[in-house]
Amino acid sequence: MLAYIIRRVGQSALVLLIVGLVAFSMFRFVGDPIDNMLGQERTVEDIERLRAQLGLDQPFVVQYYKFLEGAVQGNFGVSYRQGRPVAEILLERAPATLELAMVSGVLAILFGIALGVFTAIRRDGVFANVIMSASLIGVSLPTFLIGILLIYLFSVELGWLPSFGRGETVDLGGWSTGFLTESGLKALILPSITLGLYQMTLIMRLVRSEMLEVLRQDYIRFARARGLRDRAVNFRHALKNTMVPVITVIGLQLGAIIAFAIITETVFQWPGVGLLFINAIQFVDIPVMAAYLMLISVMFVGINLLVDILYFFIDPRLRADRSGGH
Amino acid sequence: MSDFPIPVKPKSRLRIALDSDLFYTFRRSPVAMVSAVVVLVLVLSAVLAPLIAPTNPFNPASLNLMNGFTPPMTPNAFTGESFFMGTDDQGRDVFSTILYGMRISLFVGVAAVFFAMVLGITLGLISGYVGGWTETIIMRTADVQLTFPSILVAMLIFGIAKGVTPVEYRDQMAIWVLILAIGLSDWVQFARVVRGATLVEKNKEYVQAARLIGRTPGAIMLRHILPNVLSPVLVIATISLALAIIAEATLSFLGVGAPPTQPSLGTLIRIGQGFLFSGEWWILLFPAVTLLALALSVNLLGDWLRDALNPRLR
């Protein structure tokens, strides 16, 4: 098991090194950084000086090493567009995205599991069938159209909820939170539904099919024969055993939520990291793009690794299977 | 064995197609038939846009600013002209912009999937047939790429490609960059499936026979293995097409795709969103519904094809 974990950590580190190489190459070769930093009036000496100062006269490998060293310390250079350190901008924007992702994640998990269990238990119920059909639409509607639809319903027609921005935020020592004001909470509702809906349907369908599979097993029939209550059978016996694949998917979807936040944030003009990234692409702000790439890869690779390792602790069967080879 | 072949009237190709199992399941599935009709109508109207569209929305001479914001099916207060789906802020006929927009959406979608398919099949064949280090490198790259959502990969590629193209060509190149970005973000599935099938096929006797008579590896891969691994590829291609159309619309909606000078359905929705609050709903609604109809019917068609060609893939 230890060997497996070590190998997985090694693979993850390799992936991060490669992503770092991509990010660094973007820095180095897409557009000339010197061009971007010096204005029209520049002399050859200026260029030489800046080149030496930025270390661009050194060998490629040395530059790459320095880039990684900086990235590890949270130094991603200066944004071409805003003229401020990228790390500073990212830190400023991070709370908005994290709060949004957290709320949508919680919504998706709670409703996803609850609806999944419900539709599995009442397999032939009318309401369960309505939910299943609705979820099909939820999967095939593109995220941005869901956002627009919600804005149209709740902001334009009903006028209940704001259609853009975070509302008022409270600054808690560098972390600006929208949880503490009424307008902040109201502003969270539509974006978090938009962002969480896809993940919710995914979790729901997965829980449903896993539950149906488990409910067919002998031990469930035996539990019922023992006269246990429905609630105990459904939740203690059945739901518990569906959790391994569900936790995997939830783990992997966590990263996806942050990535898909790009779309939701653009629809709702939510001042988070995703909107920053889209603007960076529009204006070819390479340092911001590279930093976002690095950050999101660390997250994705980290989550993947964690999920893989978690398997061993959640499901004892895997430990027995895998200890031999693989 | 008789030397005289029994005279049978050769079946026409159409007859063969109509008698096939595939067509039989097609006729048995109302969903597939409806989707096929919708796809056919949409594709035809996109291809024939210059003939069908009442106006050419990209010819400034045909536009009249006085026609701006005409609601659908109502005569304009100033000019008295009436438009099937209304007009946008510049007096462009929404119906015509949708027809032309669908051309861009479909072109980008089809070209991107084709690109992904060719790339994926090539790499899949090579890694399955050659094996060794080549395989390790190709499939590891695929694994790494698969950890990231493909829309994110497409955005990054779009951003990098935009950075590399000189400023004055960026709008012209946007469509091609989009195809490259979506195609590169989508090859992995093709490569995986083709590699898996190749691994099975390459040990079969016909491949050994081909090797024995001295055919080159390239010829064996292309002429012998490829035809036998194509049917799952067809299914993936159809489903990929729906995803590519949505990916293109998403990117264009976010403003990192088709430029306003060559609007796709996504760009039109982006433009329409600006008029959501002022009550001009038709500028947004019609492109959105068209996109949905297109993506959904291609998707359903793909689902049907998957079940029809290989029930085990379910």
**pLDDT band with cut points at 50, 70 and 90 for residue B117:** very high
Domain-located, residue A245? yes
Domain-located, residue A278? yes
What is the arithmetic mean of pLDDT over B98-126?
92
Other beta carbons less than 10 A from residue A177's beta carbon: 16
- Those residues with Cβ within 8 angstroms of residue B126's Cβ, 6 or more apart along the chain or in another chain: B134, B138, B221
Domain-located, residue A268? yes
Q: How far apart are CA A286 and CA A280, in angstroms?
A: 7
Q: How far apart are CA A201 and CA B232, in angstroms?
A: 27
* Mutant choice from A148, A254, A304, A306 vs B, greatest count of B C-beta within 10 A: A148
CB contact under 8 A, B163 and A284: yes
Which regions in chain A score pLDDT beneath 70? 1, 30-42, 53-57, 174, 314-326
Predicted pLDDT of residue B314: 40
Q: How far apart are CA B290 and CA B100, in angstroms?
A: 12
Q: How far apart are CA B39 and CA B47, in angstroms?
A: 12
Instruction: Evaluate if residue B92 carries a pLDDT over 80.
Output: no
At B201-240, the pLDDT tens digits run 888 888 888 888 988 888 888 888 888 888 888 888 888 8
What is the arithmetic mean of pLDDT over B118-140?
89
- Those residues with Cβ within 8 angstroms of residue B277's Cβ, 6 or more apart along the chain or in another chain: A156, A163
**pLDDT band with cut points at 50, 70 and 90 for residue B116:** very high
Helices (H), A234-315: 240-241, 243-267, 273-282, 286-314
Domain-located, residue A55? no
Domain-located, residue A156? yes
Q: How far apart are CA A262 and CA A93, in angstroms?
A: 12
Residue A78 DSSP SS3: strand
A308 vs A5, A17, A244, A250, CA distance in Å? 9, 20, 11, 13
Instruction: Evaluate if residue B101 carries a pLDDT over 70.
Output: yes
The pTM assigned to this predicted structure is 0.81
Nearest CA in chain B to A33: B163
Higher per-residue pLDDT: A70 or B139: B139
Query: For residue B209, which of B198, B218, B199, B220 has the smallest C-alpha distance?
Result: B220
Instruction: Evaluate if residue B77 carries a pLDDT over 70.
Output: no
Say what the alpha-carbon torsion angle A81, A84, A87, A92 is, to the nearest 10 degrees.
Answer: -90
Domain-located, residue A160? yes
Predicted pLDDT of residue A326: 41
Where are the strands (E) in chain A, listed by range?
170-172, 175-177
Domain-located, residue A49? no
- In contact, A177 and A95? CB cutoff 8 Å: yes
**Domain at A238, CATH number:** 1.10.3720.10
At A198-207, the pLDDT tens digits run 888 888 888 8
CB contact under 8 A, B284 and A148: yes
**pLDDT band with cut points at 50, 70 and 90 for residue B191:** very high
At B284-295, the pLDDT tens digits run 888 888 888 888
Nearest CA in chain A to B140: A15
Query: For residue A138, which of A200, A210, A208, A191 has the smallest C-alpha distance?
Result: A200
CB contact under 8 A, B299 and A282: no
Specify the range with the lowest mean pLDDT, choosing from A33-37, A102-106, B162-166, B255-259: A33-37
Structural domain range at position A234? 86-319
Q: Could you report how far apart the first and last alpha carbons of chain A are, in Å?
A: 10
Instruction: Evaluate if residue B76 carries a pLDDT over 70.
Output: no
The Cα of A134 is separated from the nearest Cα of chain B by a number of Å equal to: 14
**pLDDT band with cut points at 50, 70 and 90 for residue B115:** very high
CB contact under 8 A, B159 and A256: no
- In contact, B314 and B55? CB cutoff 8 Å: no
Vertex A103, ends A102 and A106: CA angle to 5°? 85
Predicted pLDDT of residue A323: 46
Nearest CA in chain B to A263: B254
Task: Report CA A128 to chain centroid distance, whole Å.
Answer: 29
Joined together, the tokens standing for residue A116 give: 């999944």
Predicted pLDDT of residue B118: 94
What is the arithmetic mean of pLDDT over B117-136?
90
Predicted pLDDT of residue A33: 59
* Mutant choice from A15, A136, A140, A194 vs B, greatest count of B C-beta within 10 A: A140
CB contact under 8 A, B299 and A140: yes
* Partner A contacted by B154 (CB < 8 A): no
Burial class (CB in 10 A: 0-12, 13-18, 19+), A298: middle
Q: How many domains does chain A have?
A: 1
Predicted pLDDT of residue B114: 95
Q: Across all residues in chain B, what is the average pLDDT?
A: 81
At B47-72, the pLDDT tens digits run 887 777 777 777 666 666 666 667 77
- In contact, B97 and B170? CB cutoff 8 Å: no
**pLDDT band with cut points at 50, 70 and 90 for residue B160:** confident
* Partner A contacted by B158 (CB < 8 A): yes
Query: SS3 string of B8-32?
Result: CCCCCHHHHHHHCHHHHHHHHCHHH
Domain-located, residue A34? no
At A97-139, the pLDDT tens digits run 888 888 998 998 899 888 888 888 887 778 888 888 777 777 7
Closest in B149, B163, B254 to A259, CB measured: B149
At residue A171, φ and ψ (nearest 5 deg) are -90, 115
At residue B213, φ and ψ (nearest 5 deg) are -85, 10
